[in-house]
Chains A and B, each alone.
Chain A
């Protein structure tokens, strides 16, 4: 069973995504979750959850930040609130949170999501033994590796099929530090990029928030052309990340994946269908950003 999991940037967009047919909304607030398109208040999370549930859809809340002492103290009240309003699952990347969930007898299922650190079936199974119901895999995995992992894990695995890949998280305010050094005013924008001096075509998104500085890969991921391979490999938890794809464009891209899911499940998936959906996706994707399949088609030996 294919599950489409999509981020949301507003209550309106969340509702549109639900109506479009995504299965799960992935939302949260910056204090507990990483790299979200929007930081929602508890009230907003409650409203979105209620709406999703009226349409028989699910909500997963990000609790996957790297927690320091001040934040780990706030985790249990937050998660108790999420449990009380009926949130269906949370993501967790810090073992301290896992420790607290168990100690406080929290029943809300957790998905292990430590980004770069989830690279093998053994790791996934380690967290499964400690209660994880699912795991989000690192973006630096090739399809060759994904197939092996999928055949050996004891819980479902989730991968990114559309959106940006974070490749660096610093606790330092790297952009602010640069502006301070060069005595410029700080930019209030998420549209900053860096490029390698030797590869001027590169354009790595960079921004700061309360979790530090985040840098993203030059290409956003698009696995639309490879969805059938994923289904065959048994990898059917698909995340769509809209952090850099705004508003209705993201909803429309989600709609394409909903159509793809339907076609795949009904046996109507053909190369022509795929190409039709993919060309629409490319049109909807922000002009200034580029798409590729990331590490998916690479030879594991070439990226060691």
Chain B
């Protein structure tokens, strides 16, 4: 029986220390985080050095890696202190940094030797010679542009020795990443320094203009006028993981350092399952619909395959009436379970009540459905509803659950 020994890494986003631990607990081989500077998510939770230390220590215990994204396109003055930053990261035990600006790459290579560098998708690497260029510059890995197709990946793999990382799930820039300054011009916020105001998702008029400035709008769409928009649906490669594995992609990246614990745990859990199932017995691999169903529980937009199998048509843009995607919320996190009494101790994350149907899920793709029958507070006083954020409650759960299992509820 064929098995695949060189499994690709499942790489998950982690906006906070808590998300880092959850992502690893739910099966991530590696996580990427942001530091306090040089990144692209100025409003995402970013890590202090102490938090990074704790994250690295946790990751090591679970044989996982931590990468730091430092992928801004720097202006004068922005790179001050970058040498110290990279050295500190290296000494903390960060496994690699994700960089796009050549000035930062140079500083990292000179001032923090031994800290591997990965080229960020912001640099739009789209061909094998570009990968060869960065490989010769000493980079360990290149994150491909999201515009690269699966056939192109196959050829790139044949013609390079550098590690390849590719996006498998999440939101997409509609432009070539790094080649969009809509936000700079429309909101005075630098898209390449963490300020992106997502102008591409706004509504626009589309018109012709004559030489005198007279405008003729081209908006159409029948009874309901459709605005022009540049908004992309999200990517999901859930049905195509075998293609990545067979083409020798080293790392499968999930987008979303701003995403919730519910999202990160769910998506990581699913892709962990798929990668393991395929690599264990690729010739008898069967896709399970429950994997896809699970992803829909945290989906924010429609899902499609981006550029992997052809140039995206209008069906991969957010036009027209949006399909209602059922929403689930993160209701609570299991702290403890007493098998004798069947009582779970749970930290509340969102309002839930007696009578609600909830679902517990955990690493290894375990799922348990339960109707909330009785609730108690910490002092064993009965409750109808768990109203207070982060309050500790107890409830009866018929099947054993584990600490760090997550309880979700349909909205």
Contact = CB atoms under 8 A, between A and B. Distances in A.
Interface residues of B, number: 83
A219 B346 CA distance: 57
Contacts of B319: 177-178, 181
Nearest to B145: A66
Given A117-B73, A303-B184, A303-B190, 14 more contacts: A67-B127, A96-B133, A99-B129, A122-B107, A123-B101, A167-B181, A167-B185, A171-B147, A171-B307, A178-B319, A189-B208, A193-B209, A304-B75, A304-B195
B313 interface: yes
Interface string A142-166: 0001001100000000000000010
B174 A95 contact: no
Contact of A172 (B126, B174, B190, B320): B174
Given A145-B75, A304-B195, A94 B130 contact: yes
Interface in A163-213: 165, 167-175, 177-178, 180-184, 187, 189, 191-197, 200, 203, 206, 212
A193 B179 contact: no
B175, B215, B219: most-surrounded residue (chain A CB, <10 A): B175
Interface in A77-131: 94-100, 115-117, 119-123, 126-127
Nearest to B136: A99
B101 A95 contact: no
Interface of B: 73-76, 78-79, 100-103, 105-107, 123-134, 136, 145, 147-148, 152, 155-156, 174-176, 178-182, 184-186, 188-190, 192-193, 195, 200, 202-213, 215, 218-222, 226-230, 232, 307, 311-314, 316-317, 319-320
A123, A206, A218: most-surrounded residue (chain B CB, <10 A): A123
Nearest to A165: B185
B176 A141 contact: no
Nearest to A206: B206
Contacts of B184: 140, 167, 295, 303
Given A116-B179, A217-B185, A192 B208 contact: yes
Given A192-B218, A287-B211, A68 B152 contact: yes
5 nearest A-B residue pairs (beta carbon): A96-B129, A122-B103, A96-B130, A99-B133, A177-B314
Given A168-B175, A172-B312, A181-B317, A195 B207 contact: yes
B145 to A, nearest CB: 8
Contact of B204 (A121, A194, A300, A303): A194
Contact of B129 (A97, A115, A192): A97
Contacts of A170: 174-176, 180, 230
A300 B288 CA distance: 52
Contacts of A266: none
Contacts of B131: 96
Interface of A: 66-69, 71-72, 94-100, 115-117, 119-123, 126-127, 138-141, 145, 148-149, 165, 167-175, 177-178, 180-184, 187, 189, 191-197, 200, 203, 206, 212, 215, 217-218, 286-288, 295, 300, 302-304
28 contacts: A66-B176, A67-B127, A96-B131, A100-B129, A116-B180, A117-B101, A119-B192, A122-B74, A122-B107, A140-B181, A140-B185, A167-B181, A169-B176, A170-B174, A171-B147, A172-B232, A172-B312, A177-B313, A177-B317, A177-B319, A178-B226, A178-B319, A180-B313, A181-B319, A192-B218, A194-B228, A288-B212, A303-B190
A122 to B, nearest CB: 3
A149 B179 contact: no
